Structure formats: C-alpha cells, structure tokens
Amino acid sequence: MMKTLHRDADAPIHFDNQTFMKRFLPFMSLLLPIWTLTAGAASVLFDQNAVLYSTQYDRGVNLSSKRGVPISGTMAPSTTGSDGRQPAQPAATPNQFRGAVVYGGLVVPTLAGREGLNVSRSYVGNAVQLGLPRGASGGATVVLRSVQMGPAYLSRQSAFSFGSIITPPFTDMDENPLTMSPKDYWLAEPHTTDAHAGAAYYWSPHAGNVFATQTGAVKVKWKKAQPSPTKPSDFDSNPGRYVLESGLYYSYKTVEYLVSGTPSKAPRKIYWTEASFRTTGKAVEIPARVSTIRIAYNPGFPQKVETEYAVPGQSGTDISNPFTKLNTLWYDGQSRQILAYNREGRVFVELLGEPLGANRQRHLGYEIVDVYQQAIPTDMTTELGETVTPFADASKGAALIPERVLTGTLQSFLYEHPIEGTSRMQYFAARETVNQNDVLVHWLETGVEGLRWPSIFVRYRFFWPTDVAKYSHYVRQEVARESEAKLTAVPLPNENIPTIEYQDPLDRPRARLTETLAFYTYLNRENPAHRTLLRFTSEGKVGFERVFSWLDVTLKQPADFAGTLATNLNAWNTNLLNFSWNDASTSLSQMAPRVVSATVNVGD
C-alpha cells in the first residue's frame, strides 16, 4: 500500500493513514497487533485494539489465540499481542515477525459524523463527515472507495506428475539412505490385501511399475524385498510395520506422495462417441498388434456413472449396446475400438500385447487420455485446388492424418489421393461448399503402437480464389453452337490423365473434354464467364489447375460482366463496372485478360 499517491510531479496527494486504517480495516483479520506503514523515514503504528475488535464497531472478530507471536520480551498492554518470549540475545532480527494476512476488507463510514451529513451531497461528497480514507492537494480531494488485497499462499511441491512411475524410496525402513539400489531393497509391487482394489495408484504387473493415476495425496505401502523367516520381536507392537505371508515376515512402510494434475507426457484426446455425439465423435481404432487395453480409473473419472447423460431436448438415446450406456471410457473388443461417453476428465490407459504367462502380458506402453464431450471445430478457408491442411500455416501439422466426418451429403467436396508408399490420404478442396458443416475433418495424431487419436477438429469453407493471378485464362470466341466451340479446344497432355474435377454449375456444363482429352468451354452473352477446376494425375502424384474462361465480346464491354461470377474477383470495381487491371505496368494486369486497341503498320 502506498502512503502517497502522486497526481503529478508537483502536486502529491497525501492520504490520512490513521483515518484509512480505522475506517477501512474493521473487516480485516490481522495476525499481528501492530501494523507499521512506512513512508520515507517515518513510521506510523496502529494498535490492533483500535482496528480489529474496538467496541465501536463490534464486528465480532474472533481471535483464536491471545498469545500472539514473540515480538517483544514483555507481556504488557503496551505490547498487546506479544507472548513475551522474544529472545534477549542481540542477534534477533528487528521486526522479523511483523506482517499481516488480509482476507477481505471494505470502507466503513463512521457513525459519529452522521449528524453533520449534507443531504445535498453524494456519499463521496460527505467523505469528511463519514471519515472515509481521503487525501487532498489544493482544492482537489481524492476519496478511496475500494481496495483489492490478497494474502500470500504456500504451495506444496508435488512428488510426481500424473501418469509418471512412482519409484520405491531411496531410504530403508528406518529412513536411512540406502547403500544399494532401491529395486534390490524394495519389492516392485506394493503391499496389498485386496489386489490393489481402490488404491490411489495403478500397479501394472505387466510393466512391473507403480503409476501415478490419481491426483492429490497418494499412499503407497512399500514392502521390503528380503523377508525374515522368524517372527520379529516387535511384530505384535507394530502392526503397521510387518505382514505375514506364506510363513515369512515382510517389513513394509507407508510413504505418502503428492501427485500433481500435470501430465507426465502429452495427453491424447478422445470425444464422446455415443448417442447424438456419434456424428462428431471419433472412436480410436486398436491395431491387431495390441491385444487389449487396461484403464486405470480414478475418483474424478470413474468406470461408470449412476445416470446416463441426458441430451437436452431428447427423450432417449440411440446407443446400440444397452450395457455400455453407463460407461465412461471403455474398450469394445468386438469392434476393437476405444469409446467414450457420460463423463469428461483425465484417465490413464495401458496398452498390452501378447500373453507372457503368469497372468502377464507384454507391456506396450501407456497413454494419458483427456476425454471431452464435444469436438469444437476450428474454422478454416481453403481455395479450390489447394491441399487441405490442419493449420493456416501449411508447414505445420505435417505428421497429422486427416479423416473426414461423413455428414450425409451425396456431394464430395474433398478429393482424396493416397500418398505413395504410405497408408495415408491427402485431401484437396474439390468443390465449393454451401453449408457451414459441409466439410468436417478430424486430424489424427499417432500415439503409442500406432493408435490414432483425434488432435484437431476443423470445419472448412472451400471457395474459388478472388485473385485473378491464381487462374489460367482462356479467351473464347462468340459462336452459335457448341460444336463450333469444340473446334478451338486446347490439347492437354494425355500422359497426365486430365479430368474436369469441378466447374461452375451454370445452366448447363459449359466445360468439356473431347475424345482426345482436349479442353474447351462454350460461352454466350448470358454466361460470359466460367471457372473450371482441372485435375492431372501422373506417377502417383496429383495436381490441379484453375481455368477462367472469358467471352471475347464481353471483354470489350466489361460492364456486361455485372451480375456474373466474374464480379467475384477482387479487381472488380462496382462503381465503374470495370476491372482495375488496365495499367499494363502492373504484374496483376499481366496475368489478366484484356483488350488492346492500337494502330500498327503492316509488317511491324
């Protein structure tokens, strides 16, 4: 807290600290009887009696201890709050125990000044009469109406992160440092009488490790590796130190750890896959090399819920298997999928391989899984013919695998092309989208043993480019019949297998390929402009070309393009009904079709 508030360099405003403390602090809880405010070399002391439990305010402050802290060597009214145990040696640090913890506070007006209130003034205008904390400089008065304060807090350092391996202690039964490896002194499996049921950790006999799968305080009973064949002398007097198993006496000790919610590795995602969430949810497929999975549930994410999730506005569900409608996260052995429903949270999942005997399977690894109710899409735009990527920066997310969500539409907005030498697909924007959810794609990340987990959910809008430089331009003559337009078709390289992937849906298909794979468009004055997306395939690779066709007579009179798709180009001027690429010196105009009128000499 500052004692001086400067309005400017020449006019400091000084608060009345005594008024501030007596009016502002009745709701504060102090640990010390004296509050010291320092400004420069001056100190102002305040007695706790006048601040906290003065009979004038009667706030009912309950101090649980009257002894206080040893801030002096005398217990007397002049040092109220001290228990008189301050060390007499001069090495004691002055004021070392002085401080305060503030839990809350507000400004309390005085009752003594209410008789002199000026009813024509506001609450702040009666600051003097109400005894509010205030300051003045010249003719200006500053009133402190509210203050935010907060105490410091102490955090306990965690021993392990969620999902990490809890290792045996480095000390022996008597807390002495070990002279051998902890793995030789302690058994890997903690002591249990119920096969670790309800334990705050997960014991994996397959990995031979204890995993931190529950946040907060976790107790583990570590059992000494070497048992005693004879009964220890203190066996009966220390029931929490020994256990008798198969005629042998094992020593064990309980160690408490603090597990943080921070994951030990990057978590994977999964969205609810049942009922109305099936459309946007993504079940995780289990490859053949993974035999099964084990899920370590915790109090924050149980195996089952008591009541199935009720979708707002729906009376029932469409879960095909009634036995799974209360599950949260589970493995369906028939479909070999990991499914989710009913609960959001974080859980530990172990992947297991082939059996190894003695109720053990090969430990393949583990994942930390965050379960979400709904996949919230990220909106992106992509121009036709371009590769569909998970991020606007195409250099990111190269390792992610796309998988489209079937939305029920018969139109295919995506062109899928297999990447040679892999099992992955590459997507291209192949058709203009109409509705918001026409194209939804889950981008999957590869986890342990090749499991593909949903990482990013993207909703796309596909559109034709508005930059004229992103097209190849094809100027067409006005002809009476399509057969005449076919005569001026452009030959395309047959070895690249040209295909018309998409074209503007006008009154009829205006772009075609001939029997010899030559390309032409048929335009008229009603349809003077047209866009075509051509696809070429060669040696396992694919490419696209955008062709903009123009009717030559309309180019001579650009105003006739008004109301056509040509006006979607950003070079179209709606006021002049013309295109802004007339300046031949610009690179934009060099990529655009235009009519050049000039007088030339024969032979030039």
pLDDT of residue 424: 83
Burial class of 94 by CB neighbour count within 10 A (0 to 12, 13 to 18, 19+):
exposed
When pLDDT is cut at 50, 70 and 90, the band that residue 596 belongs to is confident
Two tokens, residue 486: 């076919």
- pLDDT tens track for 241-255: 999 999 999 999 999
- Label residue 431 left, alpha or beta by phi (over 0 means left) and psi (-120 to 50 means alpha): beta
pLDDT for position 158: 74
- Quickly count helices (H) and strands (E) in the chain: 7, 35
With a CB cutoff of 8 Å and minimum separation 6, the contacts of 494 are 516, 517
Which pLDDT score is estimated for 153?
58
pLDDT at 415 over 50: yes
pLDDT of residue 338: 97
- Mean pLDDT score, 386-400: 92
Average pLDDT value for residue range 355-368: 94
For residue 52, the model assigns a pLDDT of 41
Query: Are 200 and 219 spatial neighbours (Cβ–Cβ below 8 Å)?
Result: yes
Residue 83 has pLDDT above 70, yes or no: no
Stretch among 81-85, 116-120, 475-479 having the lowest mean pLDDT: 81-85
Measured between its terminal Cα atoms, the distance across the chain in Å is 88
Q: Is the pLDDT of residue 190 over 70?
A: yes
Arithmetic mean of pLDDT over the chain: 82
Residue 454's CB: how many other CB atoms inside 10 A? 22
107 close to 19: Cβ distance less than 8 angstroms: no
Radius of gyration, CA atoms only, the chain: 39
Q: 420 pLDDT exceeds 90?
A: no
Residue 310 has pLDDT above 60, yes or no: yes
The answer on pLDDT for 53 being more than 50 is no
- Does the pLDDT of residue 366 top 60, yes or no? yes
313-337 pLDDT tens trace:
665 455 555 556 899 999 999 999 9
Confidence of residue 425 (pLDDT cuts 50, 70, 90): confident
Per the model's pLDDT, the better-predicted residue between 201 and 53 turns out to be 201
Which is higher by pLDDT, 29 or 133?
Answer: 133
Q: CA 87, 88, 92 angle in degrees (round to 5)?
A: 60
User: Which of the pair, 41 or 210, is modelled with greater confidence?
Assistant: 210
Interatomic CA distance for residues 567 and 247, integer angstroms: 92
Alpha carbon 238 to chain centroid, angstroms? 49
- On the question of pLDDT at 88 being above 80, the answer is no
Lowest mean pLDDT, pick from 48-52, 161-165, 210-214, 576-580: 48-52
pTM for this entry: 0.70
Cα–Cα distances (Å) from 26 to 103, 112, 331, in that order, read 12, 16, 59
Q: How confident is the model at residue 12 (pLDDT cuts 50, 70, 90)?
A: very low
* 433-472 tens-digit pLDDT: 999 999 999 999 999 999 999 999 999 999 999 999 999 9
Q: pLDDT tens digit string along 129-182? A: 887 888 776 667 788 777 666 655 555 677 899 999 999 999 999 999 999 999
Could you report the per-residue pLDDT of 481-515, keeping only the tens digit for each? 999 999 999 999 989 999 999 999 999 999 999 99
Integer CA distances (angstroms), 13 to 45, 60, 126, 138, 270, in order: 21, 34, 19, 9, 59
Cβ neighbours of residue 328 closer than 8 Å, sequence gap 6 or more: 297, 301, 302, 303, 304, 305, 340, 341, 342, 343, 345, 347, 371
Q: Which of 38-47, 204-213, 270-279 holds the top average pLDDT?
A: 204-213
- pLDDT for the residue 604: 87
> What residues contact residue 514 under an 8 Å CB cut-off, 6+ apart?
486, 489, 520
